[in-house]
Structure formats: structure tokens, C-alpha cells
Structure 1
Amino acid sequence: MEEKRIGEELSYPILLAERVRSAVEEADSFKLECSTIGNYTDMLAEKLRLLVRFTCSAQSFYERPVRRIIAEVFKNLDRALTLVRKCKRRNVLRRVVTIISATDFRKVQNLLEASVGDVKWLESILGFGNGAAGEDVGIDLTLPPIASNDPILAWVWSSIASIHVRPLPEKIEAANQLAQLAQDNDRNKQIIVEEAGVPPLLKLLKETDSPEAQIAGATALLYLANDQERVTTIVNEQGVPIVVKVLADSPMRVQTLTASLVARMAENDSVAQDDFARENVIRPLVTLLSFETFSDDQMVQLGKQSIHSIIQINKEMEKNSINGSKNNHHYRPYMTSFSSFHSEGSSRGGNRKGRENEKPEVKLKLKISCAEALWMLARGSVSNSKRITETKGLLCLAKLVEMEEGELQYNCLMTIKEITAAAESNADLRRAAFKTNSPAAKAVIDQLLRAIKESDSPKLQIPAIRSIGSLARTFPARETRVIGPLVAQLSSRSQEVATEAAIALGKFTCSENFLCDAHSKAIVEFNGVLPLMRLLRGNERAQFHGLILLCHLVLHAGNNEALEQARVLTALEGVDRTVLAQHPELRELVSMAIYHINLYHTSAHSQRFSFVP
């Protein structure tokens, strides 16, 4: 139901105040008490008329507290009118049944006094009438009676009103106060959103002449965007195009917060995730992530050249290169300093010299935020993952995994993990982005394998292992270099890492993989059976995935003597019945594996062709 115009809302209590005044003049009893009520009513009427003039002349103002307070004023005036009308002389019977006490008047007087206080408070935050604009702004403001039981409501109202009507420095202070309130708890966040706090914060985010205002607006929005419903509100207020424009054309400090806002919104709402992609947010994110990693000319070449042309550029650059690390050969055509931002980065604080002169920690924070935003945009989205690969983002992510450490390296690995997961579920993306002759794909694989082999952090190893597993169907039989590192991790001190390695290897050896026989034989040849047997003694998850891999090895490489020597048949027959009961699909797989190994290895064991757990 559409709300009435604020002028129409205000007309009702003004008319009601006039009726109260008439009733006071007609009162025959309790004249002193009625006179007091009349005085409060006159004060309210005067303030309300000032408020009407203000609302008619103001281009825009904050309506939420006005509507709430006016509704309360109307209710209290109506109660006053009912009481005063009882004081008019009527017949004897009415006087007998109508009992009025001084307590009734005190209650109504208190209500009217509270309404006067509420309207005076409105006067102070909106700046109409005698209330000086800017007086008592913010959390130190005296609470209006209507919010005496919930002071947060008054603080939110006053802060939002300040963003609407105050000078820019006070708007910034008010946005910071909202951010502080939002940081405290989710209830405060919900009040800010319900009381229409999102539109003025988005408007503050667009204050391109004031980075401080943009930072204040972005910070408050970032605290609000941790819940799907609140993110939906930001989306419905056309927040996505605003955020994308600010991201593409702002100083680095603002871009960092804006990229984080993209990440939070995409994380908590799939609609926002899709809307950001439609607004082409991925391009500026990849561009910002590439800052000081690739040169301008080389990045343009990367965007225009075919795979064949890129390979040729690689060869030419390698011939002419005198210095450079050996392990940079995938990146030489794109290295040195990516210091301008094409069409996405021409802001006042974002000129080339200004960006290059930013502190290293500022640049690092920006990249961390951009990588996280790409991660959240790619998560569970084939279309967004495809967009990232089309911007040549894979090569940038691979380079950062190689060069960086800590949070940035982790966010890049997680982005790659999401892209490879999308490729696993989508053959078109898999063929387009992870061709065996693609320099970007080769660079990604190299860095994933390096993270698996050289890192001692499960936090980094696990996404790298999952990524390799997701790409299992892209590797030819001769590409055994990816098998060895995964087999080695079956012996990891971290059972979680070992389990993830078993899961990844299971994708190489499952029947859905056309090369499952070749991959299974490679795993056995890399001595993967013994550490896999040890994994069967782990927790339930480790047992489950270890058993799946072991069964695949038996089914596709069952004639290998290593399986007999490791007493695989004994292990399969001794599987915990509880595990089989919880996973019926595993029961059939184990039965098939026992039958298969008996078929190949009859000398060491008696024939047992059936298995009934």
C-alpha cells in the first residue's frame, strides 16, 4: 500500500488540534486541567504548521521519524479530544455515568508533553522553525520521548537525518556513527536498513569530490551487507551500478572498501552476484588486481592476441630477455609495471603518478580486496568464472600465487579453486579456459603444483589440491607430473590434506574419467597404495574417500603386484561395517573391488567371489 504524502499526513493532527482547542473552550468542568491541555495543543499546532512549511519548501528530507512521530502525535491528540469532550455539560444521566478524575488529565498531559518533546526533537534534527541546524547532532543528542525505551532508534534517526541535510563534514561524521552502530550487532544493522538508511549512504558513496565521504559511506554499507535480506535492500536501491562506478573510478583507499563491499554482497546474495557481473564489475577487478604486475602494452596485447600469437610473443621475449628468473617464463610478455588502469581508472586520486606513489600496504590491501571479490563472484557461478577467464584473469591469479604470500595468495588460490570447480561442471568452460596448450592454464597448473609441493600450510594446499582434482579430466595420460605431488600428499601429516588428495585422485581414477586406467596405473607406480592403506585407519571421512580411491585402483589397475603385496584384499574385507551401512553406494563398490582382486590374485588368497557385509 502506497504511503500518503507527508503534507497530507501532517494535515490530520493539525485539524485534530483545532478540534481539541474548540472542545477546551466549550468545557464546563475541569476548566484548569482543560486549559493546560489546550496550551500543549497550541504548542503542538504551532510546531506542526512550521513542519508543514518546511516539508513544502525542502527539496528532500528524511521522512521516517516524521511519519512515526506524527502518528504518535495524532494518537495523543485524539485521546485528549476524547477526554476534554467529556467536560462539556450534558444531561444528568451522562454526568452520572461519565466519571473523570485528575489522574486522567495527568496521563493525557504527560502524553501531550511527550509529543511536544518529540516534535521539538524533529525540529532540532531537521533544522526547521527555531531549531538551529546542526545543534546536538549525533549520538549525544537528547533522546526524544518516543525513543526513550529504544535509544538506538533515535541515534539512527538523527544520523540518517544528518546525512540528508547537514554540511558534508557532519554527513561524514553521521555515516561513521552509523558504521559504529552497525558494527555492534545485527539488530542495529536491521534498524538502520528498516529506517531507510541505505539510500543516503549510497548517495554519500557517490560524493566523488570527497574520498572521506566515500570511505564513510562504503564502511557503513560494508557492515550492513552481511545478510541476504539487507544486501537485497542495497540491490533494490540501485546500489550495484553505484558500487561498480565507484570501484572503477576512485582513489585506492575507496576502491579497497568498494571491492570488499562487492565481495560481501556477492557472498551473501546470489542476485547481487549476478547483478555485479551484468554491470561488468569483473573487468575493473582484474585490472586493479593486475596493478604493477603487467605492463600496459603487454596487457593490451594479452587482451587482443590469440593463443597462437601469445605463444609467439613469449618466444620473442624469451630470445631478447637478458635478465629474469627462470620460473617466470610463463609471464615475461606481461611483466614489469601495470601502472595505468585503461578505461577503468582515471579518477582524480587515481592518476598514474598518484597510484604509483601510494604506500605498499595500500596497494596490497586493494589487491587482497579485489581477489576476494573475484573469489565470491566466481563461487558457484559458471558464467562469472567464464567472465574471469575471458578477461585473462587466470594468468594474473597464477602470477600472484607465485609472487605473493599470506591473504592475497590465499584469496587468489580460492578464486582459482572456484573457477576450476565451475570448469569441472561445465565442459565448454573446461575446454575454453584449460586447453593443454594455453599459457594461462599451464601457468595456473604450475603454481597449483608448487603450492601442493612446497607449502607446509594446509590452508594453501587444500584449495590447490581441489583445483587439480577439478581439472582431472583435462590432463592427458602422459601428464603424470600432476599425479606424483597428489600421491605424495597421501602421506601428509595433516589428515585433512591427505583426504583431499585422495578425493582429487579419485577424480582421476573414477569410471567417468576416460583415462582412468592410465591414471590408476600411474598412482600405483608412484607408490600410492601404502599411504592410501594408512589413510584407511583415519577418521570416517578419510576412510570413506580412501576406500573409494582404493576400489578404483583395484578396478582399473587390479593386475598390479603392488596391490597384492599391500594386502589390499584383507583391507577391503575388513572394512568397518558402520561405514558401509552409512554409505550404501560404497557397499557395491567394495564388493566389485573384492571380486576383481580375487580375479587377478588367486595364488595368495583363496577364491572369494562374493562379499556380504
Structure 2
Amino acid sequence: MSTEEKRIEDELSYPFMVAGRFHSAVETANSFKLECSEVWKQVYCLLQMLCTIVRFATAAAAPSLYERPARRIAAETAKNIDRAYALVRKCNRRSIFRRIVSMVTAADFRKLLCHLDASVGDMKWLISILNIDGGGGIDLSLPPIASNDPILSWVWSFIATIQMGQLNDRIEAANELASLAKDSDRNKMIIVEESGVPPLLQLLKEVASPAAQIAAVTALCHLANDFERVRVIVNELGVPIIVQVLGDSHMRVQTKAANLVARMIEQDPAAHEDFARENVVRLLVMLLSFDMLVDDQVKKLDKQNVHSPLQINNKMEKSLGGRLSNQRLGNFYSNSYSHVEGSSRGWNHRKEREYEDPVLELQLKISCAEALWMLARGSLSNSKKITETKGVLCLAKLVEKEQGELQYNCLMTITEIAAAAESNPDFRRAAFKTNSPPAKAVVEQLLRIIKEVDSPILQIPAIRSIGSLARTFPAREIRVTASLVAQLSNRNIEVATEAAIALAKFACPDNFLFVEHSKAIIEFSAVPALMRLLRANEVTLLHGLVLLCYLALHADNSESLQQARVLTVLEGADRAVIAHHHELRELLPEAIAHLNLYHAGMNSEMISYIPLKQI
């Protein structure tokens, strides 16, 4: 059985197994009797302290013992007691020959006493951090075992306090642990290796103390910046706890919890599924759109002359496609932890929310939108869940009304959902029907940002989203292609390049209406702007050439292509650059051959109409 698999009581009790033999060896020592007696005093002191810890660990009313430092110190103490026993036995040699062979010196005893003194110091420190002596506060003294690494002793002390201390001390220790984790990745590694995650998750459950929850979730946020550490949080069953806190806590705690969800999914894509099983998408959409949903339901119920808070709550639950308990619904945006019974609890907390700090409310929405963004990124199932909970319409409204970080996070969430729709035809058809109000609202806002907002940070994801949805637009929707063509002349090269990429998705053969879209792109004078874009840099050259090839292949009436000398440009394209682009390697020869054939046909047609007398 390995050290970690042994019960802590067994490790602490081991020195008692050799205590009787040790005492007999001291009494029968033939040499260095005084030194042996001093050694026994130190060993006896250690045994007394070990006995105290064993009683504490086995007491029924005692809190769960923090084992990491106890195991480490107990192992070191047992090693020193074994060393002392071996030295004392050497002093019990009756044969002169054996005394000479196993020679013992005073220096050996001095060295041994130093080791035993260190163990005594370690045991005293262990008793102090485990709060066995009834003391209070956090012990930041340095035990001999951690003399070369003070951070280790501080981490032990903080974790022990979080696991076993009083509430105020636990909050202070969690804040100190968060500060250590913020300083360096090495500190984060030590905290996780020394089993700091379970006590933090336990502290996160302290719903009666928002300060404790904030301290715990802040520390966890600092730890969750690495795949392995996120896996530890997940494996310690942290996901259900985090989701529960997200639904049932004060708005400040909810904000931190949403940040933690975003950080964990960003570092560990596999956490998508863990959070999805806890229905976190529906909860985040609820938090993000709570005011919006309540206001809509109030208007509808006012028209029907219905004013019951219970009916409003029921309507809201049905609008989200599922039932939420009155208790959970009531906890949303609450700033009080008093238990309020009754079906109108959610309504009462909604009125309480009106008195919340608008800045705090905005920060919660920003955090929820970022968490939804991370959940939707690369996840078809989560993207479907967002659309099923009417989250897309909520996101579109927030993009329309909000500014800054919230608007950006909502836009990026839409971009990820659109990317999922691009890769899955069934989802695309279900979520982005032409006559669907949410789809219309999303497209309207995307086009508004593309045309009216002079910000590349917003324009690029909006253009990318339109490109992902290219196969959903009918041929008559020419304002979409017109908006994208206009951005080919954008002074920001990245925006112009993104527009070329999006237009290529309209003109590629994967799009059922590629011929109609190609003609529309040319009619909106895309070719001159595209020719200028080709001269910008290598990236724009590649994407510009792809679009130009599609236009050359699919637009039969290509006078504008001929006027722009597109054939000459394609024939003179740098083959060294194109060699690394698989799609372009195949497209370019086809486009050149098509243009040559078209030009040859045009020339033959012109010759056939020349009068014979002019030949």
C-alpha cells in the first residue's frame, strides 16, 4: 500500500509501534547514556504531540483533518525516530569488537538531536495550523520542514484554515490563497498539488456568506488558467457546485461564477460537456435576459388584464422551455439570503433587483455573455441549446442596445453559433430559417454593425458571421452581398480581407445559389476593389484570388472581368505563394482556362459579325 493510500491514523501511529523497544534500548545502553537519555526526551515529546494529533483525527466531533502537511511531517518524524532508534541500539553493544566496528561519536548525537529538534518544531507548527490547541487566526510561521520553500508552509496554513477554521478565518485564508495564486503559476501548482481545490469548493457552498463565496470563486478563477488544473476542479465534482452557485447566489457571486465557467471552458474544451450536463446554458441565458423576459411577459399579461406574480413566473418558465423551481427562480439577482416562501418569490426578487447597482448588473451580463461565448465555441450541442432557449434573440437585442464589452461578447457568441450552423446543415435550417424572427433580428444587427459601426473589432466578427450564414440567404437578399462588397474597400485591411473570405462563401459551389450571388457581387463593382486588395499583402492576395477565381468561373457575362484584366492578373499570380494554398492551387488553372475559353468565344463571335467586304 502506498503512502497516499494509507489511512492518516496509521501513518501517525507508526512511531508508537517502536516506542517500547526504543525505551528499552535507552535503558540498556552501555555507552553515551546521557546522550541517549536526551534523545529519549525528544522522542517522548514527539510521541506526545503525535498522540494529540491522533486523538484529534479520530474524534467524532472534530472537523475533517487536512492531511497533506500531517502526512509529510509524520513521515519525516517517523524517519528521524527510526534514525534515533538505530543510533541508540549501537550504544547497546556488549562485545568490544562490535563497539569498535559500529563506532558512535558525540557528533552523531549532536546531528541526531538537530533532526529531532526540527521534528519537534514541525509538530508544534502542525498542531498550530490544525487549530488543535484552540488557537485562532492564520499561522504564518515557518516550520523547519519548509525552511527552503516558505510558500509551501503558507499554502498549508491557508488550506488548513479554509478546511478547518472559523468562517472569518476561512474567508481571510481564501483571499490570501487567491493572492498567492495570482502571483505565479508555480504557486498555483503548489496549491493544487497540496489539495487546495476541495476546501475551496466546500467554501463556495457557504450560501449564507457572499464574502466566503467570492473569496473561494476568486481563488478558483486564478487557478483555472491551465488545462490540468481545470481538470482537477472538474474531477473534484466542482462543476455542479459552480452551477448551483451561479443559480442561487448574490449577483456579485454570480458574476464571479460566470467568469469561472468561462475560464474553465476556455482552458479545457472537454468541460463543455460537464457544464452542459448541468444545464448551465439555460441558466446563463436566463441571467442574461432576465429583465428582457420579465418586461415582455409583463406587457403580454397587462394586455390580458392579468397581474398575478405567480402567472408571470409561470409564463417566464415556459418561455425558457422548462420548469425552474420557485426557490431557484427567486434567488436570481437577489441581494438577500433570507428565505422567502411562496410562489411570488421570483417577482419579489425582480423588484429587489431594481435597486441593484447598474454597474454590477452590467458586469453580470458581461460575464454571462462571455461564458455563453466560450460554451458555444466549437460546440454544436451548446449552440443548439442557446437557440432552443431563445438566446439568439436575446443576444441580438443586446447587440442592438448595448456597447463595449457586453456588445462584443454577445457578438462573439453569435459568431460561434453561426460557425456551428455553417458546419451542420440541419442546425442551420432549424435555427436560421428565412422567416424566423430570431434569425431576422440577428441578420439585421450584423448588417447594421457592418455598415454603420466603424470598429474593426466589431465588424470582423459580424462579417465572419454573415459568411458562415451565406447558404441561408436567398438570391433576392442583395443587401447582404452589397454590404460585404462595400467592405472590400475598407481602409482596414483585416476587415477587407474578412469581407473577401465571406464573399467567397457566397460564390463557392457549396452554395446552391453561387451563380446568382457571383453575378450580384460583380454587379456591385466588387472587381475593382478586389484588384486593389490583391496588392496589400500575402494574406489578402490569397483570399482575394480565391474570390476572383470563383467570380471568373461562375459569371458568364464577364465584361467587368475583362476590363479589369483579371486574366492577366491570374496568369501573373506568384506560384510560390499559391503553392501552399491547396484550394487555390486547384482553382487558379480552372479559372484561367475558363477565361481563355470565354475570351476565345468572344473573339470568334466578333469576327463572325464582320462584313465580308471588310475582310
Q: TM-score, normalised on structure 1?
A: 0.89
Q: Distance in 2 between matches of 1:274 and 1:180?
A: 30
What corresponds to 1:90 in structure 2? Answer: 94
What corresponds to 1:322 in structure 2? Answer: none
- Note the C-alpha offset of 1:165: 1.6
Q: Percent identity?
A: 65
- Note the C-alpha offset of 1:133: 2.4
What corresponds to 1:227 in structure 2? Answer: 226
- Note the C-alpha offset of 1:110: 0.9
Q: Distance in 2 between matches of 1:5 and 1:488?
A: 71
Secondary structure of the corresponding residue to residue 582 of structure 1: coil
Cα separation, partners in 2 of 1:209 and 1:124, compared to 1, 3 Å: same
Deviations, residues 204-250 of structure 1 (Å, cap 9, x unaligned): 11111111111111111111111111111111111111111111111
The answer to whether 1:51 aligns with 2:49 is: no
What corresponds to 1:501 in structure 2? Answer: 499
Q: Distance in 2 between matches of 1:267 and 1:228?
A: 9
- Note the C-alpha offset of 1:37: 1.2
- Note the C-alpha offset of 1:558: 4.1
Amino acid at match of 1:287: M
Residue ranges of structure 2 left out of the alignment (5+ in a row): 305-323, 337-348, 606-615
Q: How does 1:349-388 map to 2 (within 5 A)?
A: 349=335, 351-388=349-386
What corresponds to 2:125 in structure 1? Answer: 121
Deviations, residues 566-592 of structure 1 (Å, cap 9, x unaligned): 110111011012112222442221111
Q: Is the 8 A contact 2:16 2:47 kept in 1?
A: yes
The answer to whether 1:35 aligns with 2:19 is: no
Q: Distance in 2 between matches of 1:300 and 1:284?
A: 23
- Note the C-alpha offset of 1:593: 0.5
What corresponds to 2:267 in structure 1? Answer: 268
Q: Distance in 2 between matches of 1:69 and 1:301?
A: 67
Deviations, residues 263-311 of structure 1 (Å, cap 9, x unaligned): 1111111232111111101111111111333435539989xxxxxxxxx
Q: How does 1:135-150 map to 2 (within 5 A)?
A: 135=137, 137-138=138-139, 141-150=140-149
Residue of structure 1 aligned with 2:435, choices 437, 445, 449:
437
Cα separation, partners in 2 of 1:342 and 1:50, compared to 1, 3 Å: closer
What corresponds to 1:287 in structure 2? Answer: 286
What corresponds to 2:188 in structure 1? Answer: 189
Q: Distance in 1 between matches of 2:156 and 2:299?
A: 49
What corresponds to 1:555 in structure 2? Answer: 553
Secondary structure of the corresponding residue to residue 209 of structure 1: coil
Amino acid at match of 2:455: S
Q: How does 1:403-552 map to 2 (within 5 A)?
A: 403-552=401-550
Q: Distance in 2 between matches of 1:232 and 1:345?
A: 30
Q: Distance in 1 between matches of 2:300 and 2:201?
A: 37
> Moved runs in structure 1, 4+ residues, more than 6 A?
299-302, 340-343, 603-607
- Note the C-alpha offset of 1:101: 2.2
Q: How does 1:104-119 map to 2 (within 5 A)?
A: 104-119=108-123
The answer to whether 1:391 aligns with 2:393 is: no
Q: Is the 8 A contact 1:16 1:74 kept in 2?
A: no
- Note the C-alpha offset of 1:538: 2.1
What corresponds to 1:250 in structure 2? Answer: 249
Amino acid at match of 1:588: E
What corresponds to 2:343 in structure 1? Answer: none
- Note the C-alpha offset of 1:11: 1.2
Secondary structure of the corresponding residue to residue 474 of structure 2: coil
What corresponds to 1:307 in structure 2? Answer: none
Q: Is the 8 A contact 2:30 2:94 kept in 1?
A: no
Q: Distance in 1 between matches of 2:130 and 2:425?
A: 59
Residue ranges of structure 1 left out of the alignment (5+ in a row): 303-312, 318-339, 608-613
What corresponds to 1:345 in structure 2? Answer: 329
Q: Is the 8 A contact 2:63 2:164 kept in 1?
A: no
Q: Is the 8 A contact 1:559 1:600 kept in 2?
A: no
Deviations, residues 393-413 of structure 1 (Å, cap 9, x unaligned): 000000110111111011001
Q: Is the 8 A contact 1:267 1:273 kept in 2?
A: no
What corresponds to 1:9 in structure 2? Answer: 11
The answer to whether 1:133 aligns with 2:149 is: no
Q: Distance in 2 between matches of 1:448 and 1:525?
A: 22
The answer to whether 1:81 aligns with 2:85 is: yes
Q: Distance in 2 between matches of 1:570 and 1:26?
A: 106
What corresponds to 2:612 in structure 1? Answer: none
Q: Distance in 2 between matches of 1:460 and 1:342?
A: 38
Q: TM-score, normalised on structure 2?
A: 0.89
What corresponds to 1:334 in structure 2? Answer: none
Secondary structure of the corresponding residue to residue 292 of structure 1: helix
Q: Distance in 1 between matches of 2:76 and 2:604?
A: 89
Q: Is the 8 A contact 1:21 1:42 kept in 2?
A: no
Q: Distance in 2 between matches of 1:545 and 1:17?
A: 80
Q: Distance in 1 between matches of 2:325 and 2:359?
A: 19
The 10-residue stretch of structure 1 (382-391 or 526-535) with the greater mean CA deviation from structure 2: 526-535
Secondary structure of the corresponding residue to residue 345 of structure 1: helix
What corresponds to 2:340 in structure 1? Answer: none
Amino acid at match of 1:288: L
Q: Distance in 2 between matches of 1:238 and 1:112?
A: 41
- Note the C-alpha offset of 1:540: 1.7
Aligned pair count? 568
Q: Is the 8 A contact 2:488 2:497 kept in 1?
A: yes
Q: Distance in 2 between matches of 1:543 and 1:341?
A: 57
- Note the C-alpha offset of 1:93: 2.0
Deviations, residues 422-454 of structure 1 (Å, cap 9, x unaligned): 000111110111000000000000111111111
What corresponds to 1:594 in structure 2? Answer: 592
Secondary structure of the corresponding residue to residue 436 of structure 1: coil
Q: Is the 8 A contact 1:473 1:513 kept in 2?
A: yes
Deviations, residues 164-219 of structure 1 (Å, cap 9, x unaligned): 22111111000001100110111111111111111111111111111111111111
Secondary structure of the corresponding residue to residue 141 of structure 2: coil
Q: Distance in 2 between matches of 1:434 and 1:545?
A: 26
Amino acid at match of 1:88: N
